[in-house]
Structure 1
Amino acid sequence: MTSTVELTGTALLASARELQPLLRSSAAGHDAAGVLSAPVVDALHRHGFFGMWTPAALGGAEADPVTSLRIGQALAEADPSCAWVVGAAALATGTGGAYLGDDAVEVLFAGDRFPVVAGQGTRPGSAVPDGDGHRLSGAWSFGSGLRHAQWIHTLGVDESAGEARIFVLPVEQAELIDNWDVLGLRATASIDYTLDGVHVPSAFSHPATTETPLRGGPLFGLGIIHLALIVHSGWALGVSRRMLDELSSLVRDRAGRPGTLAESPRFHASYGELEGAWHGAHAFVHQVWGEITDALASGGRPTHDQRTRARLALHHATWAAERISGEVYQAAGTTALRAGALQMYFRDMHAGSQHFLVGAGTAEACGRALAGLADGHTWEFMTLVPPT
């Protein structure tokens, strides 16, 4: 990247807050159109959001986990789809910069702004070794942000070695399926795609579970999955925070009228409980990621316990947010039924809670680990793996 301005996590956080009015005013249009608008995408590029986790040597911010959580929350408070796209693309772009070979990085980061890499990291395709690379085939769902990307980041299994690998290739080499007709997160354009025997050079591929970067600092010792936990934790906190703020504003606006929620002790108690649930989730997320941020700063890596609690904190924050969204929807009455922020956020929250990271298996595995019933096990993505 060619820039005379040093990009930092602190600068991105300030930019996220600065862009909130634009994102709020654009969110309904994004939801209707199914993609982010050109002015918003241009603003995201101008401020460098797709370089949030790109190595500093490539012009990126290498934003630390706690700052990244705050950036994600600020964006989600303004537009959940925008926050989702930025998080997914920043992850795929940044880890490409950290883990891909030199030849790939020279191509990806040759322009005057960060590339947008998007796609899918689950449901692996088949990768057959072929010369200096692989032939990749498969069908993938939920390629988040793909309509805004120039490159695809996708998972395949090397059939000769049985190794899960991430492959990065031009979007033009895939068949994109325009099937994003969904309840929520409509503007993420998380369409499906297929590949049929596409050759991917070795420099454009890396082991899916690697925590050993070729460039970049301690942040990239987290590996892809832990960066994904940050994305979704900040998103859940931002969505639920906005819903609480919208409800309190609605109730205050109606104060003074007979029979309104502003005069209801039952509502006061319910709202207090929801605020407690949000602050509890926020505290849990920030406690564990604060510990991990400190560990990285001192040259360490997350402990097994911290890896477990980071997963559990995401699960807890997401389902606390889902509860908040349901109770806010009910309290807001017909206002939430009609088009507007509350309706959109309710739909987006229920779309986000379907993500595999926060399924029931996450809580089960974390419970086993924290109860001391998984001695010697290690985490591989969201699965506890027994010792060999």
Structure 2
Amino acid sequence: MTDTPRLHSAGTTAPLDAARGLRPLIEREAAQAEALGRLTDPVVNALHEAGLFGIWVPAPLGGAELSPRELIAVFEELSYADPSTGWVVMATTLENGTAGAYLGDDAVEHIFKGPRTPLIAGQGTRPGTAVRRDGGFLLSGQWGFASGMLHAQYAHSLAAVEGTGETRICVTPIEDVTMLGNWDVLGLRATGSIDYAIHEAYVPESYTHVFSLDEPLRGGAIYRLGLLDQALICHSGWALGVGRRLLDELARHAGARAGRPGQLAGSDAFHAGFARAEAGFRAARALVHQTWDEAERALDAGRALDVRQETMVRLALNHATSTVADVAGFVHASGGTAAVRDGLIQRLVRDVHTGAAHITSGPQALQECGRELAGLAPGERWELFALREA
């Protein structure tokens, strides 16, 4: 694999600095975004102007094509500012990037021709149906949890090809989408992760790619991870950002009441609990960075991840998410009325428990990780969230 492009890196902190610079705006707009059920226009425009929707787009198309750890850092920063903003950016940039890497030339030339990076949103689970027709497909189906769809120009939808069962991602103009709404949820309200439907939309083959594709037509080694493993990058960065913000907000809450009789700051039990929560979070963060450091080394050397490395990136995400959920429980129990009444701490707790329900952090992957780590899956390889015979 000596002719395989090496791992691309921005080689600069500019994208991370841009994300950090938007924190005051994102924080100011977060409450209104939650009420609207989508990000506000000032935030979306600022993200565009900062180039943050292009951080996953292949470099040959003018994107930043950040490395996994660079992406994690940006998602961590945006999710610290507001979990919904971080979630929308991670979801749309993943789909922007994989479209740029895997779609055919005709599709890419059309989609990426404008001065702004297009936003692509949709769903890659529970497939619809694609019927072969005239050099393309007729796409129909209904999908859920389309994060960022209310800001998108294109939809990214999984479909099973009729007659073969092959699964493909189909990218269609937003005009082909019927938005079904129904994003009435506990947390991550500002992501606008609505359900949507498409009925017999014609999709040229160039606007599709096999779901499991891991050899890019454009760009470097990050796209050899395939779509699912790239999604693990998103959720890892998101969990780390929200977990850090929860602990920082609780520390501010306790510190503001220090010196008053009977307050949290004077409780030995709180001190010990905070120390355990801090240690658990930092250990989970270290595992995420260690596993992705090892993954980057493999990719940059021209190798695919081996089974153990794929196990570890799944386990690192699962562990980070469950750890942050535990942190949220501690913050909620310690925060008193600040965690009960409407406000930042309450919103962070709701957002964490909603994000932790995502399939990428579900119990099946954890069980399979344990089976592989215990040496009970010889000759098997990862397919999505399960190990199968190679």
Partner of 1:39: 42
- Counterpart of 2:95 in structure 1 is 92
Name the counterpart of 2:6: none
Report the Cα distance in structure 2 between the residues aligned to 1:118 and 1:288, rounded to whole angstroms: 28
Cα distance, 1:160 vs structure 2: 2.6
CA 1:276 to 1:7, structure 2 compared with 1: closer, same or farther past 3 Å?
closer
Distance in 1 between residues matched to 2:220 and 2:159, nearest whole Å: 26
After superposition, the C-alpha distances for 1:153-204 in whole angstroms (9 at most, x for unaligned) are 0100112322111000011101111211111101111111111111110000
Instruction: Give the AA of the match of 1:233.
Output: S
Three-state SS of the structure 1 residue aligned to 2:187 is coil
Aligned counterparts of 2:271 and 2:10: Cα–Cα separation in 1: 43
**Aligned counterpart, 2:127:** 124
- Indicate the larger mover: 11-20 or 297-306: 297-306
CA apart distance, 1:7: 7.0
1:278 and 2:277 are equivalent in the alignment: no
1:93-142 deviation per Cα after TM superposition (whole angstroms, max 9, x unaligned):
11000000000001100100100000001000111111111111111111
1:297 equivalenced with 2:304 (yes/no) = no
Give CA deviations for 1:316-348 in whole Å, capped at 9, x if unaligned: 000100010011011011111112110110110
CA deviations on 1:16-75 (whole Å, 9 max, x unpaired) are 111111111111111111111111000110111111110001111110011111111101
In 2, Cα distance between the equivalents of 1:184 and 1:128? 36
Q: Contact 2:10 / 2:67 at 8 angstroms: preserved in 1?
A: no
Are 1:319 and 2:318 an aligned pair?
Answer: no
Question: Pick from 126, 142, 145: which aligns with 2:148?
Answer: 145
State the one-letter code of the partner of 2:291: V
Whether contact under 8 Å (1:9, 1:62) holds in the other structure is no
Match 2:191 to one of 179, 188, 191: 188
Which residue number in structure 2 is paired with residue 221 of structure 1? Answer: 224
Change in CA separation of 1:324 and 1:318 when aligned onto 2, cut-off 3 Å: same
When normalised by structure 2's length, the TM-score is 0.96
Per mean C-alpha deviation after superposition, the further-off stretch among 374-383 and 202-211 is 374-383
CA distance in 2, matches of 1:171, 1:148: 10
Q: Which amino acid aligns with 2:150?
A: R
CA contact (8 A) 2:159 2:170 kept: yes
> What's 2:357 paired with?
354
Q: Using the alignment, how far apart are the partners of 2:45 and 2:10 within structure 1?
A: 17
SS of 2:13 mapped into structure 1: helix
Distance 2:183 2:152 in 1: 16
SS in 2 for 1:330: helix
Verify the 8 A CA contact 1:9 1:68 in the aligned structure 2.
Answer: no
Which residue of structure 1 lines up, in the alignment, with residue 171 of structure 2? Answer: 168
Q: For residue 263 of structure 2, what is the amino acid of its counterpart? A: T
Please state how far the C-alpha of 1:8 moved relative to its aligned partner. 6.5
AA at the equivalent of 1:203: S
* Counterpart Cα distance in 2 of 1:289 and 1:99: 22
Work out the percentage of aligned pairs sharing the same amino acid. Answer: 49
1:258 and 2:243 matched: no
Residue among 85, 88, 95 paired with 1:82: 85
Decide which of 343, 347, 351 is 1:340's aligned counterpart.
Answer: 343
**Deviation sequence 1:277-336 (CA, Å, 0-9, x none):** 100110110000011112222322222111111001111000100010011011011111
Q: Report the equivalent of 1:3.
A: none
Amino acid at match of 2:195: D
Distance (whole Å) between structure 2 residues aligned to residue 197 and residue 180 of structure 1: 24
Q: Aligned-residue CA RMSD in angstroms? A: 1.2
**Alpha-carbon distance between aligned partners in 2 of 1:195 and 1:375, rounded to the nearest angstrom:** 41
1:371 corresponds to which of 363, 370, 374:
374
| SS across alignment from 1:125 | strand
1:10 is displaced (CA, Å) by 2.6
**2:5 corresponds to which residue?**
none
Distance in 2 (CA, whole Å) between partners of 1:10 and 1:107 is: 30
Unmatched segments (≥5 aa) in structure 1: 1-5
Q: Distance in 2 between matches of 1:376 and 1:18?
A: 48
Q: Distance in 1 between matches of 2:12 and 2:138?
A: 37
Pairs within 5 Å for 1:195-206: 195-206=198-209
What letter matches 1:341 in structure 2? L
- C-alpha distance in 2 between matches for 1:339 and 1:140: 31
Equivalent AA in structure 2 for residue 351 of structure 1: T
Instruction: Report the count of equivalent residues.
Output: 382
CA contact (8 A) 1:65 1:230 kept: yes
Which amino acid in 1 is paired with 2:67? D
AA partner of residue 36 (structure 2): A
Say if 2:10 and 2:66, in contact at 8 Å, map to a contact too. Answer: no
- Segments of 4+ in structure 1 off by > 6 A? 6-9
